[in-house]
Amino acid sequence: MRSHLPASVGAFAGAVALLLAGCTGGSGGATPSDDETGPLSAFFEQVGGSMDAEDNEAQQRRVEELVAECMAEEGFEYTPAEPMDQGLMGTDDAPEWDSLEFAEQYGYGATTSDELFGGAEEYVDPNQEYVASMSETEQEAFYAALYGVMEEVEDPEAEVEYNWETAGCQGAASHEVYEEGQVWDDPAMQDLMDEMNTEYERLAEDDGVREAQGAWAECVADAGYDFATPEEASQSIWTEYEALMGYNEEMDPEADPETYVPPTPDEAKVAELKEKEIAVATADRRCQEESGYADAQKAAQLAMENRLWEKYGDQLQAFADDSTAAATDGK
């Protein structure tokens, strides 16, 4: 199954996302299955990069099981929640994220996120009645065990770094399922991680990509848009979307976080932005294909993956083999 993950920009997560955007599923070795799939893409798919809906659901269920076990140890009952619906992106009917078909229907996935990921589904907490039967003190203890105790900070505007070790049963369970044993947490892999980040950021400097980028900019200009890069085009929509949804607004420090209701966006403005998003994304994607930008970027990525695989391939394959063996032993 091909991944539908977007090629996000920035840091290591962005690098992995870019690699996974073109990889194919599989549980065998990290050797690419065709001329367009690089060895790093195949590697990350093998060690946990799959966006398969069944894998995702299994992970959600495992987190909830671990939370229940942890809460029992803390003296509480906890009913595991059912996995959240992944929407269209959790099915094989979803178009590839980097396709013209996707752009024409969903733009960049900003105003269309509910359609894509099932974000409109109302969450039902199976523990609601149980918690409601408790005293206020018992409820505080329940949530402290579940999510940890939030530390008081002198500066309310200061950033607080997330630490799973202080995030209660939920933090511990999520860490075990989603983070523990990942390649990017392995100190022995740090050189590769750092180099891959650097190489990813340099993709835009590739001669072929630069030349095609100029052609892309001329193409979108003919369509009525003034953008220098595809990233600039998509970011313009996301910036508007975040402002419209009130994501950048700070909560009133006097407000009670448990009863705080975020501002409701104007539906007419959301619909207007959706129309704009699809128009910009469609022009962007069509120009990527017509200008040769998409092909140039794929070629640069493949060359990058091959360079890094030549240097780190043996080390990565050993890690992948160990991960596969550990998963098999754990079944």
Q: Give the model's pLDDT for residue 91.
A: 66
With b for 16 or more beta-carbon neighbours within 10 A and e for fewer, the 308-331 pattern comes to bbeebbeebbebbeebeeeeeeee
Per-residue confidence at 302, pLDDT binned at 50, 70, 90?
A: very high
* Helical ranges in 118-266 per DSSP H: 128-132, 136-147, 168-174, 190-201, 207-222, 230-245
Kindly report the pTM of this predicted structure.
0.68
* pLDDT, tens digit, 9 for 90 and up, residues 169-178: 999 999 888 8
Q: 80 is written with which tokens?
A: 């595991």
Contact 3, 21 (CB under 8 A): yes
Tokens of 54: 């069944």
Residue 249: predicted pLDDT:
62
CA-based angle 103:105:110, to the nearest 5?
70
Give the per-residue pLDDT at 31: 39
Mean pLDDT of 8-26: 43
Q: State the pLDDT at residue 10.
A: 36
pLDDT tens digits along 18-31: 454 444 333 333 33
Structure-model confidence comparison of residues 142 and 178, the more confident one: 142
- Alpha-carbon distance of 213 to 226, in angstroms, equals 13
Identify which has the larger pLDDT, 12 or 273: 273
- To the nearest 10 degrees (0 to 180), the angle between helices 293-330 and 267-291 is 110
Supply the pLDDT for residue 97: 83
Q: Which of 58-67, 122-131, 151-160, 187-196 has the lowest mean pLDDT?
A: 151-160
Distance of CA 7 to the CA centre of its chain: 9
* Helix residue ranges, H only, the chain: 11-20, 39-44, 53-73, 100-106, 113-117, 128-132, 136-147, 168-174, 190-201, 207-222, 230-245, 267-291, 293-330
Share the mean pLDDT of the chain: 80
Q: Is the pLDDT of residue 307 over 80?
A: yes
pLDDT at 255: 56
* C-alpha gyration radius of the chain: 22
Return d(Cα 293, Cα 100) in angstroms, integer.
14
